[in-house]
Amino acid sequence: MMLERLVTKYIKASEKVFTDLTVSKATINVDREKIEEVIEQAKRYLEDAKYYQKKDKFEIGLASISYCEGLLDALRLLGVIEISWPTRK
């Protein structure tokens, strides 16, 4: 099923990003505690995606992993974390 493969792909990519994630040392206007809260929320969305994947609820899993990626990208765009998404081979 196409949706199942998408969810699996995004989950694996997000897990890799969390492994390599580093918080920027540059001066920022966002409290570090708040950055950590957003990172923890993204991790919860990742866990939700994995849970729904196991339950064969791929639409919900895809939505959850999309939220995870969105939060990580927002932090990256703010310049408060450094990440790189795995590229397709």
- pLDDT score of 74 more than 90: yes
Is 35 inside a domain boundary? yes
Q: Quick one: pLDDT band at residue 24, thresholds 50, 70, 90?
A: confident
For residue 59, CA distances in Å to 13, 35, 82 come to 18, 28, 29
Higher pLDDT, 11 or 1: 11
Question: Residue 15 maps to which CATH number?
Answer: 1.20.1270.90
Q: How far apart are CA 33 and CA 56, in angstroms?
A: 35
88 within a domain of the structure (yes/no):
no
How large a percentage of the chain has pLDDT more than 90? 58
Within-domain flag for 7:
yes
Q: What pLDDT, in 10s, does the model give residues 34-72?
A: 999 999 999 999 999 999 999 999 999 999 999 999 999
89 within some domain: no
Task: Report the pLDDT value the prediction gives residue 57, as an integer from 0 to 100.
Answer: 94
**CA atoms of 53 and 61, how far apart (whole Å):** 6
User: Does residue 16 fall inside a structural domain?
Assistant: yes
What is the C-alpha to C-alpha distance for residues 42 and 7, in angstroms, rounded to an integer?
15
**59 domain-assigned:** yes
Task: Identify the pLDDT of residue 56.
Answer: 95
Residue, of 47 and 20, whose pLDDT is higher: 47
Domain count along the chain: 1
**Do residues 41 and 35 make contact, with C-beta atoms less than 8 angstroms apart?**
no
The burial of 88, by beta-carbon neighbours within 10 Å (0-12 exposed, 13-18 middle, 19 or more buried), is given as exposed
Report the mean per-residue pLDDT for the chain: 90
What is the extent of the structural domain holding 37? 2-82
